[in-house]
Homo-oligomer: A and B are copies of this chain.
Amino acid sequence: MKANYIGDLKKWEEEFKFFVEVTVRFSETDMYGHLNNTVPFVYFEYARIEFMKHIGFTNFSAEGKNTISVVADLQCDFLQQVYFDETLRIYVKAARIGNSSIDIHYLAKNINDEPVFTGRGTIVQIDKSSGKAIPWDEKEILILQEK
């Protein structure tokens, strides 16, 4: 069951370079005894922001800027159950750079290097007051393309 945003699986996996580590908190489990399925999106958000900081893209600060980057869509495909206290690597990459948007892909692996969930989502830069899409400037595109 391969997600439709994954073309050649091996190639898709190899393109990931950046990752952050998270350890599943007790409060992130549910009565089924595993990681609640709403939590990967929390990990994605954390990983995405760390990735953005890493490539020097944005400080994600809400102050003194007219634009913010909002999430246009999000998806997650669950491959294996994840349990309390497992440490996961959340890999992130910029998959497609649009005019005012960017497609981010995610891959979570457990300590056995097995994929446990994958995901993707589009981020759009918008004007804070009008809500309209604002194109990336040249410098931003360069930063995104290099990574």
Contacts and interface: CB of A to CB of B under 8 A. Distances in A.
Interface of A: 1, 3, 25-27, 29-34, 36-38, 41-42, 45-46, 49, 60, 62, 68, 70-78, 81, 84-85, 131
- The count of identical subunits is 4
Contacts of A78: 70-74
Q: Is the interface of A mostly helix, strand, loop or mixed?
A: mixed
Given A27-B42, A37-B74, A41-B41, 9 more contacts: A26-B36, A26-B45, A27-B38, A37-B45, A38-B42, A38-B45, A72-B77, A75-B75, A81-B131
Contacts of A76: 73-75
Contact of A29 (B3, B30, B85): B30
